[in-house]
Structure 1
């Protein structure tokens, strides 16, 4: 690892952060990193000492095999130890650290009028009630529980109740279709489904119970009806936002299957002894997209995930006792698991739990929430930043953002234009931006700055977190030294890495370890500059080989969005008879900007100047909207098919607005522009 040089402009951490920071400077980072690599057992044992273990580990802290040629792939952490996740994130804080009166969550509903403060003591009581309810419904250690809930406190209660009694939760984002919910229930063979009657998303009322019933009916049709009971939450905000909307929802009810949350929770005790689990017992399953189209059930286990999410949260956000932290993700995704629930609670943090959307009831909603709760650490996605950039400075300047100390980004590489706007407008040039790279599979951050220690380069994920050893390989599996670009892989595990694909060890090994034996393969391309900084180039299948040159789609997209007329861009490959592949670019313009030949020429010239002639796009298409999942990720698979004029687009169930596809086909480029 190289000490940062001057290849790019460096943004050094503010001096005020360094005084009380957990990792106060770059030299401290280097010392801790060296220890985590050379003495991993010593390093992680010290981290583990902050938590409660019913039984201590009996062997090495980390054991593993990453080489498929030497046998089955496995990772074990804290083998022989027993503990309980829920006990460590709640009881330990309430009983051992006297934090029972501290606010765990400020819940902010879809409407600004709906909010609630939940202390650690109250959270523990509700979780115990939910634990007892699940046990009364027949849930036992090892059983899988499907959770299909909006961002309401009951979602946190349920997932922690599962961990308390040793059940395995499988949370499904409450924007997925009945088919997607059915598929996940069937794959993990869940015995209980927890859902809500409905939810407002902005001004749109969604009947969740109806979708849940359709999913269970699909399970029965496929002779895979493992769910015996459905626990239904009545979303209390629905009864105040628009009167009582029960009649509008017409919530179906099956007395043989459905159980009313409010009725049963009032009949059980606030006391529930935790189930003591082995360190490698399963904690949760979370589904992520697969190259075959069939989602993969990523399995995480108790002890390693506890250690890793707690430490990454503490160091990456430099958590301090007086912080109010806000991650805008949905708990239906891994970001919400790790950095709304488990990581913050393990540190006794106070967080904002946000149900709404960025532009409802107005485009300044994010900034309003920051002012309302005096948020100090703010973590969001580049997609949201680019969306809010379009509205200019006025919505931001209405609110006081002076409480902010650290900003974070997650989900995709952030383009430099968005980074600078985030840093200068939202952070007022005083807040470092921690651009975090990680995956559902990694459990927590693996490449990330530390806010008081790492000089920043806009768009770079900078350096590895403790215990993480990245390297870059070429197509032949040869390790590349110094400045390089190729496949990002990791040569050793960290405690929070996934353990398997649920029910399919063969898929786990073939997906992540078969291509390059001895390494975990992320599937992402990466560039390392002369200073040792890592730059994520996007999925390898989103990297394009043009005349033998490997081009990063993320880099081309950043060049396009640097143009003042472009709000968003997505770049995919299209077959080319001479080059093999060429660049096909979709651009969404800012309001009132016209798509014409002059603009196309300007964009091509800009990419050529920023990256080089080899990166000049062959096609630039006007895209009034881009196909995105409900979580906001661009569906590049669909864009590749549109670029190739392939009308059979496969499963579009996760797309937020399928109408976008027809519009894009109508605007499609037939010849090189």
Structure 2
């Protein structure tokens, strides 16, 4: 295996981006073909394919029908929760999308309007997303089951004309009613939504509000199919919210043109998938993986995609493997969390007995750092390449990977591979200077970013600058830390900020702390991530209680856990909370979260020179030991340091 071909493509994409991406753009059907590939902008990200026009829905659906492949299955929908499955061909998908798009138009939705989609993993979710793209509306998918307050904050930011929802989702724990959460969110938010469309599921019937709520089935019955509209390459396709360090959601904006070009290119280059192949990303459409590689990526290249409602070990640890065999999946994409759950339930791989996986060419892992043990276990069990790769909501497609469709390279457990052509990745020190190999620093990407990456943050250009572009001028800051080895492989070691990664969900510590501090007994709180073998990280709440109160501490902890579940959602997996007398801080009042994170992971920490009260760290260590997260006898204080923590 050689790196030479990848190195050559990296150089070509960086030195001659116009020629490189012009060639990639030939895979897309344009209404107005691009005459210019990239237009830089001072102090910004620039624009890809300015002046060109297209329609993303046409490229993902209609053109495959016109090419004579309308009878090919476009979407398999499989639910382990309801023990059901269905298939929809490209022709059927075209008809359904065109009709639902007509229903949106009938309810007053037009080009540039926003539509919030709050749905489970059902075929109608894909139809709603593609219908928005068909008419030039901007969709914003919110993870189904998110707490009402979180949904409300996204509605207020996106100011949608309409919300599409389902009556419920279904989890292993039971039915999760969505409609009451939606109703509560619509009462909480300042922005008033005139219309909603509700898909009633048999497991739970939502109550309709006359005049505002419209049944999906009725909307479809009343609608006339509409054609694809022309949109500019730089018109937004969608907004996808991700938590930031402030707790206020950031709306990542994706364009139409660059997005279509990059995803179509990546399907072959990274995942080695072409028209007629079957691709399964076991994720959720509320995440960027669902947008890029359940809906748009596979459909743009004419592949068959699989939409799955369920969990990795429900009903048992062999469910993924049986689905791969039944639907002849060629490439499978999931999170390391899922593989860890399967490994925990079935370490000997008994669920693979009698399952024929000859169809499977590779397993792809992303969402959080993949530990070598998990990768190697999957390789042994599946006997196919297991490809760790790394990217973000903001980039929309892989930054570093093993590009199986171009030239496979050696798999190095612990690394997501080489920089994908189009990304100039560097590891920088605090002054913005590139660091030598094997030296950890901040991972940044030299501007311009390739097509398909974020074009901005919705209604927040200042936050784009402060959050991503101003720290290292000329670079996009990923917020992750890591290092390169001698072969150019990147090792991503974790976040440099205070955003937790819980089973692929990026959750703001600030948001947790806001909820904890709203409790009447709590004076202040800090939330840190502690390592977890299954979910990557779990949030740990350290709370300082107000003085002079007689409290049942167990009751307070239970109330705090319930409050986080209600206001952030079950995805937070918040179960660890303890009371401490004081929090370690600098003299300026900054809570030493980084120092506490190290303490909780069992590392010896240096006493920061700027610490206000050294005893506070000892108290935190005692609390961690009481919870069983560290051992009380373990030495934890290293030599004094001038580092501020």
TM-score, normalised on structure 1? 0.76
- Structure 2 counterpart SS, 1:541: coil
Residues 243-642 of structure 1 aligned to structure 2 (within 5 Å): 245=203, 249=204, 251-269=206-224, 271-391=225-345, 392=347, 393-425=349-381, 427-428=382-383, 431-451=384-404, 452-492=407-447, 493-541=449-497, 634-635=537-538, 638-639=539-540, 641-642=541-542
Deviations along 1:465-509, whole A, 9 cap, x unmatched?
111111111011112244432111111210011111101100011
Match of 1:164 in 2: 134
CA contact (8 A) 2:145 2:176 kept: no
Cα offsets for 1:389-415 (capped at 9, x unmatched):
012222232533232111100101110
Contact 1:110 1:200 (C-alpha < 8 Å) held by counterparts:
no
Alignment-derived partner of residue 44 in structure 2: 73
Aligned residues: 544
Distance in 1 of aligned mates of 2:51 and 2:283: 34
The offset of 1:151, in angstroms, is 0.5
Residue 603 of structure 2 corresponds to none
Given that 2:336 and 2:365 are in contact with CA atoms closer than 8 Å, whether structure 1 keeps it comes out as yes
* Secondary structure, counterpart of 2:152 in structure 1: helix
For 2:55 and 2:484, locate their aligned partners in 1 and report how far apart those are by CA, in whole Å.
39
Shift of 1:56: 2.1
CA-to-aligned-CA distance 1:367-405 (integer Å, 9 cap, x gap): 221121121211100011111101222223253323211
Q: How far is the alpha carbon of 1:670 from its aligned partner?
A: 8.7
Pair 1:62 & 2:17 matched: no
Give the 3 Å change call, closer, same or farther, for CA 75–645 of structure 1 in structure 2. Answer: farther
Q: Cα distance, 1:538 vs. partner?
A: 1.0
Q: After TM superposition, give the deviation of residue 145 of structure 1 in Å.
A: 0.3
SS of aligned partner of 1:98 = helix
Structure-2 separation of matches of 1:417 and 1:324: 28
2:576 aligned residue (661, 664, 670)? 661
1:114 maps to 2:114: no
Tell whether the 8 Å contact from 1:84 to 1:277 is kept in structure 2 after alignment: yes
**Partner of residue 233, structure 1:** 199
Does 2:1 match 1:30?
no
Structure 1 contact 473–487 (Cα < 8 Å) conserved? yes
Given that residues 461 and 535 in structure 1 are in contact (C-alpha distance below 8 angstroms), is that contact kept between their aligned partners in structure 2?
Answer: yes
The higher-RCO structure (CA 8 Å, 6+ apart) is: 1
CA distance in 2, matches of 1:45, 1:93: 22
1:150 aligns with 2:65: no
Superposed CA RMSD: 2.7
CA, structure 1 residues 80+588, in 2 after alignment: closer, same or farther (shift >3 Å)? closer
Residues 110 and 201 of structure 1 are in contact (CA less than 8 Å); yes or no, is this contact kept in structure 2?
no
**C-alpha offsets along residues 556-609 of structure 1, whole Å, 9 cap, x if unaligned?**
x9xxxxxxxxxxxxxx9xxxxxxxxxxx995668xxxxxxxxxxxxxxxxxxxx
Looking at structure 1, the residues matched to 273 and 358 of structure 2 have their Cα atoms a distance apart, in angstroms, of 18
Contact 1:316 1:434 (C-alpha < 8 Å) held by counterparts: no
Structure 1: 5+ residue stretches without partners: 1-11, 13-24, 66-70, 239-244, 544-552, 558-571, 573-583, 590-625, 627-631
Q: Is the 8 A contact 2:208 2:214 kept in 1?
A: no
More displaced stretch, 133-142 vs 480-489: 480-489
Task: Tell me which of 84, 98, 107 is aligned to 1:137.
Answer: 107
1 CA distance for matches of 2:260 and 2:394? 15
Against the structure 1 CA distance between its residues 287 and 358, is the aligned structure 2 distance closer, same or farther, given a 3 Å change threshold? Answer: same
Q: Tell me which residue corresponds to 1:47.
A: 24
CA contact (8 A) 1:106 1:115 kept: yes
SS in 2 for 1:656: helix
Cα gap change, 1:57 to 1:657, in 2 (>3 Å): closer
What TM-score comes out, normalization by structure 2 length?
A: 0.80
1:224 lines up with 2:191 in the alignment: yes
Alpha-carbon distance, 1:55 to partner: 1.1
Residues 154, 517 of structure 1: alpha-carbon distance in 2 compared, 3 angstrom cutoff: same
Deviation at 1:198, TM superposition (A): 1.6
Displacement after TM superposition at 1:106 (Å): 1.0
Give distance in 2, aligned partners of 1:160 and 1:42.
30
Counterpart contact for 1:195–1:230, Cα < 8 Å: yes
- Extract unaligned runs of 5+ from structure 2: 503-508, 510-527, 547-556, 579-622, 635-645
